[in-house]
Amino acid sequence: MINMQQRQAQLEQLVDDLLSEAKRQGATAAEAGVSSDSGLSLTVRLGATETIEHTRDNGLGVTVYFGQRKGSASTSDFSPQAIRETVEAACNFARYTSEDPCAGLADAGLMATELPNLDLYHPWDLAVDEAIELATRCETAARDEDERIFNSEGATLISHSGLHVYGNTHGFIGGYPSSRHSLSCAVVGKEGDSMQRDYWYTLSRLSGEMELPELVGKVAAQRTVSRLGSRRVTTQQAPVIFQADVAVGLLRSFIGAIRGSALYRKASFLLDSLDDQIFPGFVNIHEEPHLLRGLASAAYDNEGVATTQRDYISDGILQSYVLDSYAARKLGMQTTGNAGGVRNLRINSGALDLQGLLKKMDSGLLVTELMGQGLNMVTGDYSRGAAGFWVENGEIQYPVEEITIAGNLREMFMGLQEVGTDVETRSSVQTGSWLIDRMMIAGG
Amino acid sequence: MSDLIQIAQDTILAPVGLIETDLDRMLGELTGSAIDAADIYFQSSRLESWVLEDGIIKEGSYNIEQGAGIRAISGDKTGFAYSDELQLPTLLEAAKAARAITRSGAERSVQITGLPTPRQLYAPINPLPSLTETDKVDLLRRVDAEARKQDPRVKQVIVSLVGAQDVVLVAAIDGTLNADVRPLVRLNVHVIAEQNGRREQGSSGGGARKAFDFFLQEERALGYAREAVRQALVNLDAIEAPAGTMPVVLGPGWPGVLLHEAVGHGLEGDFNRKGTSAFSGRLGEQVASSCCTVVDDGTLPGRRGSLNVDDEGTESQCTVLIENGILKGYMQDKHNARLMKVDSTGNGRRESYAHLPMPRMTNTYMLAGETEPDEIIATVDKGLYAVNFGGGQVDITSGQFVFSASEAYLIENGKVTRPVKGATLIGNGPETMTKVSMVGNDLKLDAGVGVCGKEGQSVPVGVGQPTLKIDELTVGGTGQ
Ligand SMILES: [Zn+2]
């Protein structure tokens, strides 16, 4: 077992070395990040161990500024020689990049001064044999769940822990250890000519908070079997429910559209939308970066800026963009402490669970899987492959595949009727299922 | 011993003081009666990238990585460990961890032999210094200027330039010792155009296993700028795409992403060994219309998806996947080939030393037919003509695949008419391939920007096809 405190001190020293070396080579400012991660990843398939991978990843990166010019370099090599050469490479690039009035570290006054322990580190002292046993229990449960399950892609257990340290020449330095464990299972079912695969997983920072292996397997099997006999529906307009795990993608698209880099490039359909009505009045979207054990929790962002709670949508109205210091300067605004993205985002739920949403929709499409990247962030045009279930009288009728759903995100956001209580918690962006009033479904 | 092996040894082993007998020792650690296969993969890579945005050179960055991945296989079990420290004790420890999947067996000695120099599909160069930094910056600026001078409606231009060199050396207990030195360059242009408050984007780019001057020849880089602008302007006039099932004509080149998704992934050996692909157990069967012949060819000189040898040291080859509609073969790496009792097809690829190899595509394309493209379009009463695509995705088990058009037009009464907004096309791989009714005489390969992702691993690939007609495909627009 590595002593994490010692390791953290080592990485802090590395960051310090990188920053000192950058100054020695003439940089007027610099920032550096170092990470070190190790773990175990194994797969059991058809009852036998298929792969055992021991992972160990190191990385360091440095960005130097010569006035308003910037250069970056990174490597996995932690040797003193590599540090010197990496800084040298970054400095070399800074000779050729342009003077950029917006470039530079975040303002010194914004650096996080308190670094609370967010309880993100729960290493799992897991022997390979135990891990194999857990994955086996998971896969066995999946294979035993239904006789139509005839094949498997296996159950995979991944356990990681690591350290990340960031520092810059304002004198900021921060670092924390974290852990992440997951167990997933994918099985294949067959009925007549129809062959389908689906999966399920559990994910947590703390092994004790993971779902039981048997439950993960069972859900994977049920999801697979429920898709057997999928057919198409005719081309039509209809209401659509995005099940919570795919609704996460819609919420991420919203965040993508109010991200500073998309805004200053004019590459967003939500340009100049502050204070505009983006969602119906019942919608609130909130970020909570200091959640204990949160999947994306951090006390400071990728520039050392203190993170804070933030409302993005209140009563349907856009309150804030998602900004790092560069985008903020480009837009003439102040960073929101979101270099590196949002941290633990949540949309408020209504009163209905998924069953309730189905009843409310009455007739329409329940989407459980999306395929492809058919989203144009510049226009908001949305067109993606989908699979799921056709719903009538509030009840699931049959599984559906080989269809597309299309619309425009602006209209889809305003067409949001209800957010379910069935919140997806395995993501740093959390939401229940979404009922959207109307989308174009293309099928047979 | 080949030049490539010499270069790889000089680049990776010599600086850390490893010699060939150390390789023998590591391999010895990986042998035993229960071990069927084992290999060590050394990699040293360097990558640099430049970004121009808002008319200024905004970013320049450099990454250097090296490490070794060690794999031991017993039956269908694989043990794997890797390290970014290339020191003998660390590597021996990694070898022990990898071989811990079996507990039996005694060490034996392994004799590795360098193969004769394979054909060189690309020069063993480092493309990074192939242009001076000043010239790279100048190239970016000229691309930016070219895009902006095309049309005053162009509001934003982003140009990125990436160069990489990957040196790999692989030694295996079957005696393999092989190496490759892989240059790769890529230039992308992304523009946003605005007209009456409406904004649309266009993008273009290209690349090859060559030096940076590839972009200077034939005004390639400037051509990407013009093409990106052209696309953005076309999209400014686009109307809603239709929704529903209709005939679709795909243009030549990059639309070959259809083949990559609809058949390519489903013909990778691992899925077929496990029986999880919609194509499993169908060798010799008709899986496409008789006008379809599809190959995966890693031997095209200088192409982005090409490899002298794959990441297991096997020479790349041209593998016929589908011939006149009949399923002829799968793409194999050593592991799946052994378990299926066939030969590797040189498709064993991995993102890096920190990832396990698996069967992956190289350059996948359909051979040309005999029809003039215009004749193909003339046969369509009402349908879609799609010429540019973003990404795609496939569910290899159900056979469902999607790919998203970024430039498409209506076909009305046999003529290409109005541009329509991007839309996702969806179909079932084996079913769609039987609906290919016409194949053009205009085979074209893509410009060299493709990236394929599988199980979290990205590798560069190529695609291509002639113009072809699919009698029925579902188009995911918003129009009636
Ligand atoms: Zn792919």
Distance from CA of A315 to the nearest CA of B (A): 27
Token pair, residue A159, equals: 């356990």
Say how many Å lie between the CA of residue A382 and the centre of ligand 1.
22
Quick one: average pLDDT of B15-23?
91
Kindly report, residue by residue over A71-86, the tens digit of the pLDDT: 999 999 999 999 999 9
Provide the Cα torsion A390, A393, A396, A399; round to 10°: -20
Measured CA to CA, the distance from residue B194 to residue B159 in angstroms comes to 18
Residues 6+ apart with CB under 8 A from B180: B4, B8, B166, B167, B168, B307, B308, B309
Q: Comparing C-alpha atoms, which of A383, A421, A115, A83 is closest to residue A244?
A: A421
Burial class (CB in 10 A: 0-12, 13-18, 19+), B151: middle
Quick one: average pLDDT of A40-46?
96
Nearest-CA distance from A433 to chain B in Å? Answer: 23
Q: What is the mean pLDDT of residues B52-67?
A: 96
Give the model confidence (pLDDT) of A177-214 as tens digits: 999 999 999 999 999 989 999 999 999 999 999 999 99
Decide: A79 and A87 in contact? Cβ < 8 Å: no
Distance from C-alpha of A247 to C-alpha of A396, rounded to nearest angstrom: 19
In whole angstroms, what is the distance from residue B295 CA to residue B463 CA?
10
Could you tell me if A430 and A422 are in contact, meaning their C-beta atoms sit under 8 angstroms apart? Answer: no
Angstrom distance (rounded) from CA B327 to CA B286: 6
Q: Evaluate if residue A1 carries a pLDDT over 50.
A: no
Question: What is the C-alpha separation between B457 and B247, in angstroms, rounded?
Answer: 34
> Comparing A1-5, A183-187, B329-333, which segment has the lowest mean pLDDT?
A1-5
- Chain A positions touching B57 (Cβ under 8 A) are 96-98
What is residue B20's predicted lDDT score, i.e. its pLDDT?
A: 86
Q: Do B423 and A374 touch (CB under 8 A)?
A: yes
Q: Is the pLDDT of residue B404 over 50?
A: yes
Q: Which residue on chain B is closest to A267 by alpha carbon? A: B192
**Would you call B133 and A92 a contact, using CB atoms and an 8 Å cutoff?**
yes
> CA-CA distance, B462 to B361, in Å (whole number)?
8
* Residue of A56, A235, A265 with shortest CB distance to B83: A56
Question: Would you state the pLDDT for residue B7?
Answer: 94
How far, in Å, is the centroid of ligand 1 from the Cα of B260? Answer: 6
Does residue A228 contact residue A196 with C-beta atoms inside 8 Å?
yes
Compare all CA atoms of chain A with the CA of B158 and give the residue at the minimum distance. Answer: A265
Tokens of B319: 């593998």
Going from the C-alpha of B269 to that of each of A49, B317, B346, B396, B423, the distances in angstroms are 19, 15, 11, 12, 31
Full strand arrangement of the beta sheet holding B363-366: B326-327, B318-323, B294-297, B363-366, B462-465, B444-445
Q: Residues 303-332, chain B: which have Cβ within 8 Å of A?
A: none
Residue B117 scores a pLDDT above 80: no
CA distance A190 to A428: 34
- Residue B84: list chain A partners with CB under 8 A: 56-58, 76-77
The SS3 call for residue A438 is strand
> Do the chains contact at A76 and B67, CB–CB below 8 Å?
yes
Contacts of A442 in chain B (CB under 8 A): 243-245, 426, 474-477
Test the B interface: residue of A50, A56, A271, A411 with most B CBs within 10 Å: A56
Contact B421 A379 (CB under 8 A): yes
Smallest CA-to-CA distance from B441 within B376, B383, B364, B363 is with B376
Is residue B478 within 8 A of residue A380, CB to CB? The reply is no
User: CA-to-CA distance for A293 and A282, rounded, in angstroms?
Assistant: 28
Structure confidence by residue, pLDDT tens digits, B246-264: 999 999 999 999 999 999 9
| Bridge partner residues of A194 (DSSP) | A191
Mean pLDDT in chain A? 96
SS (H, E, C) chain B: CCHHHHHHHHHHHHHHCCCHHHHHHHHHHCCCCCCCEEEEEEEEEEEEEEEEECCEEEEEEEEEEEEEEEEEEECCEEEEEEECCCCHHHHHHHHHHHHCCCCCCCCCCCCCEECCCCCCCCCCCCCHHHCCHHHHHHHHHHHHHHHHHHCCCEEEEEEEEEEEEEEEEEEECCCEEEEEEEEEEEEEEEEEEEECCEEEEEEEEEEECCCHHHHCHHHHHHHHHHHHHHHHHHHHCCECCEEEEEEEEECCCHHHHHHHHHHHHHHEHHHHHHCCCCCCCCCCCECCCCCCCEEEECCCCCCCCCCCECCCCCECCEEEEEECCEECCCECCHHHHHHHCCCCCCCEECCCCCCCCEECCCEEEECCCCECHHHHHHCCCEEEEEEEEEEEEECCCCCEEEEEEEEEEEEECCEEEEEECCCEEEEEHHHHHHCEEEEECCCEECCCCCEEEECCEEEECEEEECCEEEEEEEEECCEC
Residue in the block written with tokens 């660390």? B90
Pairing of strands B113-114, A434-442: unpaired
The mean predicted confidence, pLDDT, of chain B is 94
**Binary contact (B423, A383; C-beta < 8 A):** yes
| Encoded tokens for B273 | 């060994």
The yes-or-no verdict on residue B128 having pLDDT over 50 is yes
Confidence of residue A260 (pLDDT cuts 50, 70, 90): very high
Cα angle vertex B224, ends B218, B225, to 5°?
115
Tokens 């689906």 -> residue: A198
CA distances from B208 to B15, B183, B212, B447 (A): 29, 8, 9, 8
**Residues B375-392: tens digit of each pLDDT:** 999 999 999 999 999 889
Amino acid B108: pLDDT: 57
Gap between the terminal Cα atoms of chain B: 65
Inter-residue contact A317 to A276 (CB < 8 Å) = yes
B309: its two tokens: 């040898």
| Nearest CB to A402 within list B423, B426, B479 | B426
Distance from residue B449's CA to the centre of ligand 1 (Å):
13
Helices (H), A258-414: 260-264, 325-331, 354-361, 409-414
B339 close contact with A: CB closer than 8 A: no
- Rounded to an integer, what distance in angstroms lies between the CA atom of residue B191 and that of residue B224? 11
β-bridge pairing B77-83 and A48-66: parallel
Q: Do B241 and A227 touch (CB under 8 A)?
A: no
Structure-token pair, residue B75: 């039956």
Average pLDDT of the segment spanning B463-470: 98
Phi, psi of A86 (to 5 degrees): -65, -45
Distance CA B280, CA B398 (A): 11
CA distance A77 to chain B (A): 7
> Is B423 close to A73, i.e. CB distance below 8 A?
no
Distance CA A124, CA A141 (A): 23
Give the pLDDT confidence of B147-178 residue by residue, as tens digits: 999 999 999 999 999 999 999 999 999 999 99
Asked whether the predicted pLDDT for residue A116 surpasses 60, the reply is: yes
Between the CA of B461 and the centroid of ligand 1 the distance, in Å, is 8
Q: Which residues of A touch B245 (CB under 8 A)?
A: 235, 442-444
Instruction: Indicate if the pLDDT at residue B105 is higher than 50.
Output: no
Query: Mean per-residue pLDDT for B284-289?
Result: 97
Q: What pLDDT score was predicted for residue B111?
A: 67
CA distance A285 to A301: 20
Nearest to B425 by CA among B409, B401, B445, B448: B401
Neighbours of B237 (CB within 10 A): 12
Residue A58 contacts by C-beta under 8 Å, 6 or more apart in sequence?
A: A35, A36, A37, A76, A78, B84
Question: B404, B454, B475: best mutation site toward chain A, by most A Cβ within 10 Å?
Answer: B404
What average pLDDT does the segment A144-172 reach? 97
Banded model confidence at residue B76, pLDDT cuts 50, 70, 90: confident
Of the candidates A77, A188, A235, the beta carbon closest to that of B84 is on: A77
In sequence order, the β-bridge partners of residue B167 are B44, B181
B24 at interface of A, judged by CB pairs closer than 8 A? no
Record: contact B422-A381, CB cut-off 8 A: yes
Question: Residue A371: its chain B contacts at CB < 8 A?
Answer: 393, 395, 400-402, 424, 426
**Whether residue B100 has pLDDT greater than 90:** no
C-alpha to C-alpha distance for A312 and A231, rounded to whole angstroms: 39
Residues of A in contact with B397 (CB under 8 A): 188, 195-197
> Are A45 and B274 a contacting pair at CB < 8 A?
yes
Classified as helix, coil or strand, A357 is: helix
CA nearest to B345, candidates B296, B305, B300, B306: B296
Supply the ipTM of this predicted assembly: 0.94
- pLDDT of A424 strictly over 80: yes
Residue A150: name the closest of A223, A200, A224 by CA.
A224
Q: pLDDT band for position A4 (50/70/90)?
A: confident
**Which DSSP category does A71 fall into?**
E
Percent of chain A with pLDDT over 70: 100
Contact B446, B464 (CB under 8 A): yes
